[in-house]
Structure formats: C-alpha cells, structure tokens
Amino acid sequence: MLDIKFVRANPDIVKENIKKKFQDEKLPLVDEVISLDQKIRQLKQEGDELRKERNTTSSKIGILMREKKLDEAEEKKKRVTEINSKLVNIEKEENELSISLKEKMMVIPNIMDPSVPIGKDDSENVEIEKFGEPYVPDYEIPYHPDICEALDGLDKESAGRTSGNGFYYLMGDIARLHSAMLSYARDFMINKGFTYCVPPFMIRSDVVTGVMSFAEMDAMMYKIEGEDLYLIGTSEHSMIGKFKGQTVKEEMLPITLTSYSPCFRKEVGSHGLEERGLYRVHQFEKQEMVVLCKPEDAMDWYNKMWSYTVEFFRSLDVPVRTLECCSGDLADLKVKSCDVEAWSPRQKKYFEVGSCSTLGDAQARRLGIRARGENGNYLVSTLNNTVVATPRGMIAVIENNVNADGSINIPKALQPYMGGLEKIEIKK
C-alpha cells in the first residue's frame, strides 16, 4: 500500500504506474482517494477546532458557576452539549471515510522499480541469464508421474478417493527424495546465515490482507469455516505477519529467516497435461526465505536471494534460468520480481520452480512494521524468495537425473539425507 502523502503529491506518477501495469480500470481510484483524503483532513481540522472550543468553553463554566452567573453557565453547558453532538457525527463520518480510503488504497498497485520491463502478461517476461547447460538425453523421458509410479513412489488414484483432484500420496524412496530436498534446503539456508523457523500454518484475515492483494487472496486462500483463520499459501505469510505492529531496533536489521511449511492453494482453473501431474496441486511443502531490512539495502538482498535459489538447484545438477517479471505479471504489492525456472528435458523448455520479490514498504505499511533508528522510526522493506517448493523442485531433479532404465541418480548433495543411497531403482 502506498503512502497517501505520496499519492497526494504525485498523482501523475501513480496513474502512470497503473497504466504500465495495464490496469486502466483502477485509474479513477487515484482521484477518489485524493478526494477522500481531503474530506478526512477537513473533518479532522473541524474536529480539532471544536475540541479546542469545547475545552475553552468547559473551563469557563466553572468560573461562571463560582461567580454565581448560572444563566451564562447554563448557556455554556448547552454549547458543550452541541459540540459533543457535532463531534460524534464528525468522528463517525471520519471513520467511515477512513475505511473507504484504506479499501481503495489497498487496491492501488505499488510503484514498480524503473528496471521492470513493460509487458501485458507472463508471455512478455524477459530472460535474464542461464545457469548450466540444458541437456536432452538420447532416450525418451516419461511424464514425471509415470516415472514415480514405476518406482512405487506415487499414488494419485487413492488421493482422489480421499481428497479429490490436486492431491497425492508419495511413498517409499520418492517420499524420501521429497523430504531429503526439504532437509537439504533447510541446511543450505542455515549455512547462508538464515535463522530456521517453523511458523503457524493458519493466519488471521488481517494478516492475509497485510501480506497480499485482494486478487491474490481470492485466487489462492482456503478459509477455515466459522473462524477468522486461513490456511497459508506460503510461509512468507506467517513470517511477515510475525512482525505485525512491531517496532524493531535498527541494529537488528537485516532480519534473515528461512522457514518450512506446508502450503495450501486453490489453484482455480488448472488444467492440461502438465497440470494433472504434480506440477500444480492444492497442497505442497516449501522452504522459503524472508528478509526484513533497511530500504536502501533491499535491492542488494534481492540479488542475493535469487542467486541462492540458483545455487541450490545447480548443486542438484539442474540447469536453471532467471526470468524478469514484466509489469503486467507483477503482483500489485511487488516492486520487482524474478522467477527461477528449471530445465525440463522432457518438455525441452524451462518451468517455474521459484520466485523472488522485493515489496518495498508495502507489507510493512499494511502491517505496521517499523524500525527504530537514530533519526526516528521508519517502515522496513520486506523481501521473500523460494528456496525450493515440492513437488516442482522434485520434478526438476527427477527429470534431470532419470536414466534410460527408469532409475534416478541421487545428486551427491542429497545422498547424506537419503542414508547414502546413490540411486532409486525399479524394484523387480
């Protein structure tokens, strides 16, 4: 969410930013919030003047009573009653307008970094750099569910009976591979100096609206019936929410956290061959990284964070590339974002396995997260990035390490987490 003072002073910049995101339907909001802000400030001024008059008038009542000027005192009392009545109405109107202002402000997108490429949707995202040489073996690579099923590692049919589409059972060595990747990701980030966390897997609505846009919320979140609780779509939601309403000491920054959690997502409208496997599911697990830092340090951390994900996948023998998200693909709270995509030798193309974002002070403003420095308090900057999300990360490892006979070579980095196992083989 933007600072209303910024919108007030820079309406043209805000409107131009909206146009660059191809959200012209939101343009009227800028003038609407400026008008609401003006009305609120006028009401505040009127209220302040009335309170001043009330204090002055009230102080005179006692004097008049002592001087036995009862009629004059009574007139002053009537005036105080009138003022109180007016203040009730003013405060009610001010509150109603403030709620409306906040609702509209939360829909206006954050100001993008000037480096963000302009484009309408993800088809216009821009490749930044490739890491590792994409390789296609001279044998056919089966669809990943078929690989896993041949290794007795996947049962979607049973999951369909218990839970419906978009769920799965992982078993045996495939389940071990899944857990090994998460354990390795945990230790990988701990070795980068991040503090390991396991957060709550459910959060309240005021945290949800603090960390994501309304559009994302409706498309992603599962609500717990009868309670003010939502299942998290990523541990970032809980981890940023941890600091809601808090003021941290500047010397504590940067706060660097890596968190494990299951993630729950509606994934409405998922279809097609790739969507029917393990690529897009309602439940998965994830190792995340979250940073709270000084605003001037945010871009440095952004570049460090996506590079960690690249390093992680390269250590698992997976070629990857980074892709700059264009303006039309950038969520409203984000200042800048890039995807890390893994090479799929079966599809002969890259697919998304992680996303790194810097959000400026948007989340901090919504949740009231500040730092206390020498020159006063200020809003921190927040960033988040995927270390690995399973099973997408697992798909990348399987496809890039599967052999012609259907066995899977275990990357050396994962072998200690699988009891020294070097290969998952088809049981005879």
Consecutive 10-residue runs of the chain (428 residues): their mean pLDDT? 94 98 97 97 95 90 84 88 94 95 94 97 96 95 93 92 91 96 98 98 94 79 93 95 97 97 80 64 95 98 98 97 97 96 96 96 96 95 96 95 96 97 88
321 contacts 339 by C-beta, under 8 angstroms = no
Q: Give buried/exposed letters for 8-24 (b at 16+ CB in 10 A, else e).
A: eebeeebbebbebbebe
Closest CA to 335 of 362, 355, 300: 362
Partner residues linked to 384 by β-bridges: 290, 357
Q: What is the DSSP letter of 64?
A: H
> How many angstroms separate the Cα of 74 from the Cα of each of 78, 82, 130?
6, 12, 82
- According to DSSP, the β-strands at 247-249 and 255-264 are unpaired
pLDDT number for residue 272: 53
Cis previous bond, 254, omega within 30: yes
Closest CA to 403 of 309, 280, 317, 278: 317
353 contacts 341 by C-beta, under 8 angstroms = yes
Alpha-carbon distance of 157 to 96, in angstroms, equals 52
Q: What are phi and psi of 237, to 5 degrees?
A: -60, -50
Neighbour tally for 360: CB within 10 Å: 23
pLDDT number for residue 428: 66
Q: Give buried/exposed letters for 183-219 (b at 16+ CB in 10 A, else e).
A: bbbbebbeebebeebebbbbbeeebbbbbbbeeebee
3-state secondary structure of 337: strand
Residue ranges of domains in the chain, CATH in brackets: 4-105 (1.10.287.40), 122-424 (3.30.930.10)
Partner residues linked to 257 by β-bridges: 195, 290
Alpha-carbon distance of 29 to 427, in angstroms, equals 62
Neighbour tally for 261: CB within 10 Å: 23
> Across the chain, which distance is largest between two alpha carbons, in Å?
108
Take residue 226 and report the two structure tokens written for it. 């009868």
User: CB within 8 A of 125, min separation 6: which ones?
Assistant: 117, 119, 323, 324, 325, 326, 329, 339
222 CB-contact burial (10 Å; exposed 0-12 / middle 13-18 / buried 19+): middle
Alpha-carbon distance of 283 to 397, in angstroms, equals 19
Alpha-carbon distance of 415 to 412, in angstroms, equals 5
Mean residue pLDDT of the chain comes to 93
Alpha-carbon distance of 382 to 133, in angstroms, equals 33
pTM of the model: 0.90
Alpha-carbon distance of 214 to 210, in angstroms, equals 10
39-87 residue pLDDT tens: 999 999 999 999 999 989 888 988 888 888 888 888 889 999 999 999 9
Q: Which residue has the tokens 């259907």?
A: 406
pLDDT number for residue 324: 97
3-state secondary structure of 265: coil
